[in-house]
Structure 1
Amino acid sequence: MTTGQMARAAEAPYYYVPPHSIYPIRGSLSMLATLLGAALWVNDFTVGPYLCIAGIISMLVTLYGWFGDAIGESEGGLNSKRIDVSYRWSMTWFIFSEVMFFSAFFGALWYTREVSTPWLSTLDSQTLLWPGFAGTWPNLGPAGTIAPFKTVSPFWLPTINTALLLSSAAAVTVAHHALRAANRSRTIFWLGLGILLGFAFVACQAYEYHEAYTELNLRFTSGAFGALFFMLTGFHGFHVIIGATVLSVIWWRVVRGDFTATHHFGFEGAAWYWHFVDVVWLGLYVFVYWM
């Protein structure tokens, strides 16, 4: 963006309204195809995998075009301060929705461990429902219906992953300060390092899953513990992949020179999301691996 464009964007008295777009309906149809395909896939319908993959590809193409238009509007000087505020509030509410999403799973973990498991081990419950049920966490279910498994120890892989993710967050913060100081080379280096550490986290988690399945016999079907473990860590890993991918796009935009010391909300929004992912992992590390 040129200085003149930035000045026009800052002084624009209007609220820019973009033209009609096909992307919202295309994104909705892509999500429908993905979810429907996934449902058919898990129920062994032949068309399921193809529909799910087609929906994912369609969504990626949609996002590429949609975000490309948004970037073009920003670089074209069309976004006033009101648009900037709108983007910030939108990102804030999006992260809030993600907080609620993970809160539901943390709540399920707490309820299962602290409420339902002790209740099922009471004398009345054992008499009426499952005699001999042990109120320990984790457990093998009523009457030993679940295959024996072991839990994942916090040492050493989850602890290494914690160090990787926190180091990545620190690198992104250093990159942000470098960008605000108009030091593009320093921004490129530290942001690139943060991205590499994020993908290293994903690789370590993939190895952890392999070890859980092959060595510990811990699977998604391993009762409430197995289901909650893989839902929480799996969704978090998915968010790490999304966050690292977004940061990779931001890194390329920094290399291309899209951002300035005073005009870089794209960077800030990605950094907010990345720090949210870090905080969620700290909760997982404590409540899933240690407790």
Structure 2
Amino acid sequence: MTNLTRSNFQAHPFHLVSPSPWPLFTCIALFTLTTAGVLTMHGFSNGGYFLTLGFLSLIGSMAFWFRDVISEGTYLGNHTSAVQRGLNLGVALFIVSEALFFLAIFWAFFHSALSPTVELGAQWPPMGINAINPFELPLLNTVILLSSGTTVTYAHHSLIQGNRAGVLYGLIATLVLAVIFTILQGVEYSVSSFTISDGAFGSCFYFSTGFHGLHVMIGTAFIAVGFWRVFAYHSTDSHHLGLESAILYWHFVDVVWLFLYVSIYYWGS
């Protein structure tokens, strides 16, 4: 009886994750996606097929991985208070690493902008570059993204207060605004007079705004998963770590965009 009790009950509050194939599958999918992306950009034949395969593989691996984590936290009760504290710390460290990543991008931008070289015409923007007007599409995108931060905050407070309708409507509004932002970013790229190959200005502009756009799409996926979990009655007013992490990530995306707009769109133009 003693042996049976010890084998069925653990003496600590932490969750020991069972072996999972999804981290390995996700790594393989990411390797396929990045490699196929480079091949496609260089015009290799059938590169687009491998790019699509890598993208679908990544989506599938993440979906199954999310499914297992949701099962652990919602149905198996493995996400105790101690586990949630650890997950909160992990999300915080992840966002700090993302902030340092964008710091490197801003460093590259200001390195070239504050002291333009002779090759850039000793001016910023360089000669021949017509910068995007910051008071047109960029300003509209700023209003849209800040509005999405407001709606997602409303959804969070509604969840804490037990207002289910407010949560769902707030998250739907956030997702709609996020999709509109991404579409307008694509429109901005299509009408821009310069490309990523146009010197330091083009490289810094598309590298910073493009990676921010990628983060917007990732945050949209996170919030969409959170919306589905609220709709499926997975989240409660006191246990909604996944949605809370997605909301924190979305606020980080908002803050980064403010820095991008002020420095690259307004000051850089």
The TM-score, its normalising length taken from structure 2, stands at 0.91
Aligned to 2:6: none
Aligned equivalent of 1:272, options 240, 243, 248: 248
Aligned equivalent of 2:162, options 182, 185, 206: 182
* Separation (CA, whole Å) in 1 of partners of 2:11 and 2:221: 33
Q: Which moved more, 1:187-196 or 1:267-276?
A: 187-196
2:136 matched to 1:160?
no
Aligned to 1:5: none
2:92 matched to 1:92?
yes
The answer to whether the 8 Å contact 1:37/1:47 transfers is no
Aligned to 2:124: 137
Deviation at 1:239, TM superposition (A): 1.0
Deviation at 1:82, TM superposition (A): 1.5
SS in 2 for 1:14: coil
Aligned to 2:4: none
* Separation (CA, whole Å) in 2 of partners of 1:69 and 1:12: 24
Structure 1 residues 138-187: Cα deviation after superposition (integer angstroms, max 9, x where no partner): 114xxxxxxx3411011121111111110100111111111000111111
* Separation (CA, whole Å) in 2 of partners of 1:198 and 1:47: 32
SS in 2 for 1:101: helix
Deviation at 1:13, TM superposition (A): 3.7
Aligned to 2:21: 22
User: Which residues in structure 2 correspond to 1:81-120 (within 5 Å)?
Assistant: 81-115=81-115, 117=116, 120=117
* Separation (CA, whole Å) in 2 of partners of 1:260 and 1:13: 25
Deviation at 1:49, TM superposition (A): 2.3
* Separation (CA, whole Å) in 2 of partners of 1:109 and 1:176: 35
- One-letter identity of the residue aligned with 2:79: N
Instruction: State the structure with bigger RCO (CA 8 A, min sep 6), 1 or 2.
Output: 2
How much identity, in percent, do the aligned residues show?
Answer: 34
2:40 matched to 1:41?
yes
* Separation (CA, whole Å) in 1 of partners of 2:153 and 2:49: 40
User: Which residues in structure 2 correspond to 1:42-57 (within 5 Å)?
Assistant: 42-57=41-56
Deviation at 1:12, TM superposition (A): 8.2
* Separation (CA, whole Å) in 2 of partners of 1:87 and 1:230: 32
- One-letter identity of the residue aligned with 1:66: W
SS in 2 for 1:221: coil
* Separation (CA, whole Å) in 1 of partners of 2:121 and 2:44: 39
Deviation at 1:238, TM superposition (A): 1.2
Structure 1 residues 197-230: Cα deviation after superposition (integer angstroms, max 9, x where no partner): 1111111111111111xxxx21112211111111
Structure 1 residues 101-130: Cα deviation after superposition (integer angstroms, max 9, x where no partner): 111111100101113x1xx34xxxxxxxx6
SS in 2 for 1:258: coil
The answer to whether the 8 Å contact 2:137/2:188 transfers is yes
User: Which residues in structure 2 correspond to 1:225-264 (within 5 Å)?
Assistant: 225-264=201-240
5+ residue gaps, structure 1, are 1-10, 122-129, 141-147
The TM-score, its normalising length taken from structure 1, stands at 0.84
SS in 2 for 1:228: helix
* Greater C-alpha radius of gyration: 1
SS in 1 for 2:114: helix
Aligned to 1:289: 265
